[in-house]
Amino acid sequence: MPTEEEDLFSAVDALLEQVSQDPLPPPAERKRLREAAGLGQAQIAKALDARRETVAGWESGKTEPRPPKRAAYARLLDGLAARFPAPDAASAPAAVPEAFTGPAPVPAPVTEAPAAPAAAARPAPAAKTTTSSRRPGAKKAAKKPAASAAAADPRFQNGPLAVVDVDDDGQVLAYCVGGLVLDVPAKSLPSLIEWTLAEARLGQARLHRNGRDADPVLVLTPAALERYGLPAALSEEERRAGRLPDSHKVVKQLTKAKWQLTQRGFGPWARIYRPAEGSKRNCVQLCIPAWNALDAREWDKKDDPQLPTMHPADLARYLGTYAERVMTPRGTTAVTGLELMVALRPPTRAEKDEATGEFKRAFNADALTAVYDVVDCEVPDEHPQLKGKFARHHLRTPAEMLMEEPYDWCRPLTDDECMNPYLVAVDINMSFAAAANGLVVGLNGPTHLTGNPKFDPSLPGSWLVDLSHVDLAHVFGRTVDVDRLPSPFTPKGDRPTGPAWYATPTVQYAVELGFDVAPIEAYVRTQTGRYLDGWYKRLRDAYVATMADLGVTTDLTGAEFLEAMARSKQVDPTMSLLVGAIKATAKGGIGKLRQRNRGQVPYGEAWPALARETWRPDIRAAVLANQRIGIHRKLLRTAAAANLYPVAIGTDAIVYPSSGPSPLDVLPHTEEGKPVPGGFRLGVSPGMVKHQGTQTVLWAEEQFEEHGGVFNVSNLIKNDPTAGEGE
C-alpha cells in the first residue's frame, strides 16, 4: 500500500478515535431512538458486527461501545435523533451523559458497602477498570438473588462465581449472577487470579458462623481457555491422570508467580492458592466444563446436553443460582453435597482461653470431628480392615455385612391385576434427603455390645438380630396379602431367613409393628445428634424454590400439581437443569458417606476417602434404611386401606396397576377426597410423590417375556426418558 495512502488512513483513524470519545445519548434515549425507528437489537448488532447482548448492554447503560464500533454507533444515534427528536425534553429520562461523569472510580475497599449490581447504571470505565453490564434476558430471574447477596455481604457483591468468556471484540468478560458482566483486564492466568481476589468481589459468605467463606469460582469457556493458553481438551493421558502435567507452560506461569496448586493439580476443578494471611484466604477455584468438570450425568441432561451450547450469561445464572440456594460448587454434585454437610456443621470453632486470653481451636459437639475405628460389618469388601478375613471373591452374607440399600423389587402380576390396562409409576421427591430429615445418627466411634444386648432405639448403629419371625399379615387388625408386598428388611424384598445386620431404623420398625426383637450383638454410637437436619432443610428449600420458578408450588391440589409438572419442562430449561443438580446433590452427598475405592489404589489398600471425618458408612446405612422403611410404611397403610399393592419398586419409584393412566386413578383417597392418611400424596415437597410415567400391562408382560422372567420395570416406566434412576 502506498505510504501516502497509509498516512491518510492514519489521519482518518485519528479522527474516528476523537469522534468515538464524544458523549453518547443517555442509555434510555438510545433505546427510545431504536424503538422509534422500529429497529430490533439484533438488526443493530448485525449492522455493527456485534452481538445482540452487546447492544442490550449499551442500552442498559452498563457497558459502553469501544472504538471502532463506538463511532459507528454514535453516527447511527445521531441520524436517528435527527429523524425522531424527543417529543418533550422535560419528559426525557434524567440521566447524566457519560462524558460528564468522569473516569470510573477504582473499586472501593471491601469494608465499604456498594450498591447492589441490579441498581442504577454505573459510569463508563477508564482503561483496564472493572465495569458491569446486565444481560436483559437474565434480569428478571436473577435480580433478586443478586441484590440480596450484595446486601448480605458487600465483600461478595458480584456473587459467588463468574463465567469467563471472550467476546467478538477480543475483550475478556466475566459473566456474574444477575446478568452482571465485568470487564477482565488480565492477560495471563496468574493475573486473572490476582484480579479475581483484588477487584472482582466474588465469593460467598459462610453458611455457619463457625465455618469459612467460600472461595470464588471462575468457570472458563473454551474461548477463555484459548486466551489463557490452556488446551481445549485434555489428552488421553491427561484425562487418565485428571490433570495437566507440571511441565505445562501455564502451570509454570503459576509457579513463577508464587501460586500453588493442591495435590489434585491443574485439573477440571483446579484450586489455586497462596498461604492464608491471618484469617484472609487467597484462593480461587477454576471450573473447566470442556474438561468434563460439569458431568452431564449430574449437571446436565446426559441424553440431550445443554451446557456445551449454553450462553455464558445463562451458565452464570445456572451455577450462580445453585451456589446461592445450595452452596458454591466444589466439584461434582456428590462432592458439593458432602461439603454442604461440613459447611452447615463445621467440626471446629475458635474458643477463647480464659487463662491466656488467646483463641484456640475447639471441637463442636454437633459435628463429625474425627476419624474413628470402623466396624467390619459396615465397610465394603475392599476395605483394608477386611484384608485376609475372607476369600477374594467371597460374597458376604447378611450375617457378615450390613446390607441397607434401597428397594430393587418386582413380582408377577396376579390375574386380577392383569385386568387393569395400565401400570402407573409414582416417584418420591428427594427421597434420600427426606429420609435424612429428623434422623438421629452417631457422631462418635462405635461401642461394641455383646451378650444379647437389649435393643435401644435411641442408639444409632448396627444390630445383629433375627427378624425372620416378623409376619406382616395382621399388623393392622385385618388381613394383608403379604405375598404381594416386599419385606421391609431386605432390598430385594425377600423375607429374612436368619440373623442379619440391620441399622437402627430397620430394627425400630420391627418394634413399631409390634414384634419382639432380641439382638445378638451390636455396634452403637453413644454421642448422637440430628446431624443432617440443616443439610436437608437447605436442599429442601432450594428444591421447592426452584420448582416454584417452574410454576410448581406447594399449594396445588393433586390435579393442579400434575398439570403444573407437565408444563414445567417447557417453562425454563436452565431452572430445569438446576432441579436435576439439586436432586443429584442430595443423592450424591449421601453416597459420599461411604465412597468406595474407584481404582485409586490396589484392592485391599486404603483409599483417600477413608481419611475423611465424613467417611461414615453407618450414617449412609441409617439414611437408606430409613428411606426404605418409609416406603414400606406407606405401602402397608395403602394396602390396608384400599387393598392396593405395588408390582415393582426401584429405589424411590413405585409401580401400581391402575384402571386409568393418571396417579389420580390409582392413589386412594378418603370419602372427603383427601389422600389416605399415611399413604402416598401428590405434591412437590420432599417425601411427596409425582407422576413418573405410565405404561400398559401388556408392555410389562412383554418385558417379562423378553427377559425370561420377572424383571424390575419400575425405572423403565418414565414419561421423561432422560430422567435419572432414583433421586
Q: List the one residue out of 629, 594, 630 whose CA is nearest residue 401.
A: 594
What's the pLDDT at 138?
Answer: 36
User: Please, where are the H alpha helices in 497-650?
Assistant: 504-512, 533-549, 558-571, 573-592, 617-642
> Which of 164, 168, 178 has its CA nearest to residue 219?
164
Alpha-carbon distance values, 479 to 419, 513, 630 (Å): 23, 14, 21
Residue 254 zone, left/alpha/beta (φ > 0; ψ -120 to 50; rest): alpha
The three-class DSSP label of residue 465 is strand
CB atoms within 10 A of CB 301: 18
Grid cell for residue 289: 466444563
Question: Would you say the C-alpha torsion 557, 563, 566, 571 has a positive or negative sign?
Answer: negative
* Closest by CA position to 680, among listed 559, 563, 583, 558: 558
pLDDT at 15: 52
Q: Closest Cα partner for 126 from 102, 104, 155, 99? A: 104
Determine the average pLDDT of the residues in 219-236: 96
CA distance 431 to 440: 17
* Residue 538 CB contacts under 8 Å (≥ 6 apart), including other chains: 207, 326, 327, 340, 344
CB-CB contact of 191 with 272 (8 Å): no
pLDDT value for 52: 78
| pLDDT (0 to 100) of residue 87 | 66
Please give the Cα distance from 224 to 227 (Å, whole number).
5
Q: Which domains, from first to last, does the chain contain?
A: 11-101 (1.10.260), 109-331 (no CATH), 376-403+436-529 (no CATH)
Q: Which of 6-15, 173-182, 536-545 has the lowest mean pLDDT?
A: 6-15
pLDDT one-digit tens code per residue, 506-549: 999 999 999 999 999 999 999 999 999 999 999 999 999 999 99
Query: What single letter denotes the amino acid at residue 436?
Result: A
User: DSSP per residue over 275-339, as a string?
Assistant: EEETTEEEEEEEE-GGGTSS-HHHHS-TTS--GGG--HHHHHHHHHHHHHHT----SSHHHHHHH
Confidence of residue 21 (pLDDT cuts 50, 70, 90): low
Contact by Cβ (8 Å): 418, 702: no
Identify the three-state secondary structure at position 242: coil
Mean pLDDT of 23-48: 84
C-alpha cell at 158: 458480584
DSSP string over 387-422: TTTS-TT----TTTS-----EEEE-PPPHHHHTSSE
Q: What is the pLDDT of residue 337?
A: 97
- In order, the DSSP letters of 207-226 are SSTTS-PBPPEEEEPHHHHH
Average pLDDT over residues 572-593: 96
Mean pLDDT calculated for residue range 472-484: 78
Q: What is the mean pLDDT of the chain?
A: 86
405375598: which residue's cell? 483
For residue 371, the 8-state DSSP code is: P
Question: Which amino acid is located at 549 in the chain?
Answer: D
With contact defined as beta carbons under 8 Å apart, do 507 and 518 qualify?
no
Helix, strand, coil percentages, rounded to 5, for the chain? 40, 15, 45
**Residue 363's pLDDT is what?**
94
What's the average model confidence in pLDDT over 101-119?
A: 33
Nine cell digits for residue 476: 393392622
| H-helix or E-strand spanning residue 54 | helix 52-60
Contacts with 15 (C-beta within 8 Å, 6 or more apart), sequence order: none
Q: Give the residue with greater pLDDT, 14 vs 104.
A: 14
CA atoms 545, 547, 548, 552: torsion sign:
negative
The pLDDT tens digits of the residues spanning 402-455 come to: 999 999 999 999 999 999 999 999 999 999 999 999 999 999 999 999 999 999
Identify the weakest region by mean pLDDT among 82-96, 284-298, 527-541. 82-96
- 111 has pLDDT over 60: no
pLDDT at 580 over 60: yes
Q: Which of 68-72, 159-163, 280-284, 537-541 has the lowest mean pLDDT?
A: 68-72
pLDDT band (50, 70, 90) for residue 11: low
Tell me the residue length of the chain: 727
The pLDDT of residue 53 is: 74
Residue 133 vs residues 62, 104, 123, 191, 691: alpha-carbon distances, Å:
4, 14, 11, 22, 41
Q: How far apart are CA 448 and CA 466, in angstroms?
A: 18
pLDDT band (50, 70, 90) for residue 295? very high
CA gap 598, 41 in Å, rounded: 51
pLDDT of amino acid 273: 95
Q: What is the pLDDT of residue 7?
A: 58
- For 319, residues 6+ apart whose C-beta sits below 8 A from its C-beta are 161, 163, 217, 219, 287, 329
Output the pLDDT for position 82: 78
Beta-carbon count within 10 A of 709 CB:
8
Place 69 in a pLDDT band, splitting at 50, 70 and 90: confident
* CA atoms lying within 13 Å on the CB side of residue 184: 34
What does the alpha-carbon distance between residue 53 and residue 45 come to, in Å, rounded to a whole number? 8
d(CA 52, CA 395) in angstroms, rounded, equals 62
- Determine how β-strand 447-449 pairs with β-strand 407-410: unpaired
What separation in angstroms does the CA of 650 have from each of 284, 301, 686, 702? 41, 21, 17, 19
Q: Which residues contact 303 (CB under 8 A, 6 or more apart)?
A: 721, 722
Residue 123 and residue 95: Cα distance in Å, rounded? 11
Q: Cα(634)–Cα(654) distance, rounded to whole angstroms? A: 11
pTM over 0.85: no
